[in-house]
Structure 1
Amino acid sequence: MKSRNLILGTILLILMGCEGNKSDSLITVDVTADYPKKELILQDFIDVEYVLLETTDEFIVKGKIADVGKDILVLTNVHQGEILIFDRSTGKGLKKINRRGQGPEEYILPFNVHLNKEEDEIFVNDGPSSKIQVYDLDGNYKRTIPYKKGALVTNLYDYDENHFLSQNVYSPENESSTSTFFLLSAQDGSWTDIEVPYEKRISPIIVKRVADGVYASVPGNSFVSSYQGDWILSEPSADTIYAHRPNGDFRPFMVRIPSVQTMTPEVFLFPGILTDRYYFMQTVKKECNFEKDNKMLTVDLIYDKKEKKIYHSIVYNADFDKREEDLSVCALNEEIAFAVSLEALSLIEEKGKLKGKLRDIAAHLKEEDNPVVMLAKIKNIF
């Protein structure tokens, strides 16, 4: 699919920071309701894997987890232009790639990095240059995939062999497209919109101009999720969330009330991790206090398919004393629901309260060590 979006540099920096059961009834979520609380233990429905990353002078992690493969982990130090590749089973540093520059085979900013299924190529999305640079795992240049100048390609999901699925975050500064979702050709960067019906386009972004610059607040949620072979598409301007398949199947998956078109400020609904028992979601209220921070107010929700009820959810990690996990994200791939960096210093401070393998890892950590990567994999429990 294709992208048609331009966004403020401020917004760009903030953004850095499934075979369905057709018999399921359509779920209706009241985004204004005060649902009862439900506490869950992560390990009851998620398998957790911890990877201690090697720390050397060459491999120092300052950024984020970009992608997870069967055999490797890809992390990025975005502002340094570095892409770090680690062995998933041992945590050993395998390769550091830095092709930052303004040449035809380089990137200005590795905004996000995607590992192909064969795990022999990385796709580096360079937002400022409106292109994707493709390298092998040694950092050798292979090809360039240009896309429309000014477009904001925020994520790359494997849609089929020839296309990525991505999303286009609509801003009042950018009205070049009426569609949030698009397919981006992995060959030539051409794009095709996926049309989701809505009444009036509503931006999920808050922009405030002041004398010393521009402030912006952007929901941290992906508008794309996945469930049993379906892509779940959450158009911020629409009241219906849709399930879509590459074969063209397009059907309602969930409905939110009241209509987003009638709300001031708007409250959006974004599904996150979807399992065979639980649908995790998050509401996002379009207001924030820039004097305090640039975050919008969020509420975590869960739909329990067995009980057929909606709750305000809190998910605790059993390997910690009282750590809550965020399940409002889109699954990384078919295996990994989400991945989290656990800073060495925080684990050292908590090590007397940690459990299992994580406790053993923390016992040997030093303050300057690289983070421990937590990988979460969905169990089949229903």
Structure 2
Amino acid sequence: MAGCGKGNNQATDNFITVDVTANYPKKELILQDFMDVEYIPLETKDDFITTGWLHAISKEIIIVRNRRRSSDGDIFIFDRNGKALRKINHRGEGSKEYTFLLGVTLDEDNNEIFVNDHFSEKILVYDLFGNFKRSFNHKENRQYHMEIYNFDRNHLICRDNALDKNWQENQNVFLIISKQDGSIIKEIEIPYKEKVSSILFPADRSSLMPIRNRTLVPHGNNCWMLMENSSDTIYDFFSDYSMVPLIIRTPSIQSMKPSVFLYPAVLTDQYCFMQTVKAEWDWVNDTGHKRTNLMYDKQMNAIFEYVMYNADIDNKQPITVTSEITFGNKEIAFVQILEAPDLVEAYGKGQLKGKLKEIAAGLNEESNPVVMLAKYKK
């Protein structure tokens, strides 16, 4: 199977074929059987209260913001053990400020953070202490969403979320851009027949309902999975601009009504995790987008519908690896935020084990959350 998990950049001609209409056998997984798990309690201080929406993590720091659509502008920086270091907030109307904080991308090599101001269509660059360095606009007719990652020392890789007056995406949605001025270095071309949108509208087009799964997913070392809604192939894209098929879906997305999309998630040495989403919405009851979690087992050469549990929490709450924030490095596959009130309750019921139990013993319901890191096994 093509892939570059854990730094392996050797690709083959093999790929996974997934029938998105099939009913696959079910399989139960325990996270600790194939991942190393680390828990980091975020220090709680009077001026350091956060919902803990994790946006970046390196060998030395953790960067989170609050999960609020109104964007209070706070960027919290903790050290790698969860100790509070500093808080940055440059929300405002000035040339060196952001009006809306959608996402934060950490450039560990250059000690910079890129703040994506979605509403102003601008990216602002600060050092790790919040000092302004430069800014650049999203390019005309382009709008970068939350999927922005380091590509190399001088470039970012991102997904263009712009829609034209007919609510259609640009032909090429994945871009390599300059870290200095935002200029487009490369548009990544993924072949398809006709554009297929994942955005649904009611009959009067008074609102919209997008599918919010990630379509640009970093994994391993200098490798990204690219999912174009209109294509039947999910590709692995490498730092030398080469691209190989990773997953082939059937039937063709071009033939489906309603559409069933297949999104990539986490890739390990043994498993490839995915999720299907049926693009169907009940506007009266405000429900829909049925999701099915799938996993390809490389050793068994078979696909399963999986349910996954954390062995340190005995409450049978499943884990999904289709995370809002994914991390492209050799250590971390995905993260989960564990809320303090949930941990306090589970501790009281005797449902926790090991290190997580020790951490929960020192929490109260007002504590900052605990970050769970799922790391590739060494």
Compute the TM-score of the two structures, normalised by the length of structure 2. Answer: 0.90
1:194 deviates by 0.4
Is 1:166 the counterpart of 2:158? The answer is yes
Counterpart of 2:183, as a letter, is S
Who is 2:15 aligned against?
26
Given that 1:217 and 1:288 are in contact with CA atoms closer than 8 Å, whether structure 2 keeps it comes out as no
The 3 A distance-change label for structure 1 pair 84 and 291 is: farther
Supply the distance in 2 between the matched residues of 1:21 and 1:60 (Cα, whole angstroms). Answer: 44
Amino acid at match of 2:80: R
Tell me, yes or no, if the aligned pair for 2:78 and 2:85 is still in contact at 8 Å: yes
The aligned counterpart of 1:62 is 51
User: How far 1:171 sits from its partner (Å)?
Assistant: 4.7
Give the Cα separation in 1 of the matches to 2:98 and 2:341.
32
Secondary structure of the structure 2 residue equivalent to 1:38 = strand
Structure 2 residue 321 is matched with structure 1 residue 332:
no
Q: What's the CA shift for 1:150?
A: 5.6
8 Å contact from structure 2 (residues 110, 153) kept in 1: no
SS in 2 for 1:40: strand
Aligned-partner Cα distance in 2 for 1:149–1:58? 39
Report what 2:134 is aligned to.
143
Of all paired residues, the percent bearing the same amino acid is 44
Report how many residues are paired.
361
Alignment of 1:62-141 (within 5 A): 62=51, 64-77=53-66, 78=68, 79-89=71-81, 91-118=82-109, 120-141=111-132
Deviation digits for residues 193-233 of structure 1, max 9, x if unmatched? Answer: 1000000101111233769x524232333343435543221
- C-alpha deviations, 1:107-145, integer Å up to 9, x for none? 011100011123722110111111111111221111112
Gaps of 5+ in 1: 1-17
**1:109–1:128 contact (8 Å) kept in structure 2:** yes
The answer to whether structure 1 residue 306 and structure 2 residue 299 are counterparts is yes
Instruction: Say which of 232, 242, 250 aligns to 1:249.
Output: 242
**Structure 2: segments with no counterpart, 5+ residues:** 1-6
Letter in 1 for 2:112: E
Which residue does 2:198 correspond to in 1?
204
1:104/1:234 CA distance change after superposition, 3 Å: same
TM-score, normalization by structure 1: 0.89
**2:3 — aligned with what?**
none
The CA deviation at 1:60 is 0.7
Label 1:375 to 1:209 Cα distance change in 2 as closer, same or farther (>3 A): farther
Instruction: Using the TM superposition, give the Cα deviation of residue 149 of structure 1 relative to its aligned residue in structure 2, in angstroms.
Output: 4.7
In structure 1, how many angstroms separate the alpha carbons of the residues matched to 2:224 and 2:214? 15
Are 1:348 and 2:344 matched, yes or no?
A: yes
Return the alpha-carbon distance in structure 1 between the equivalents of residues 83 and 9 of structure 2: 38
Partner Cα separation in structure 1 for residue 207 and residue 174 of structure 2: 26
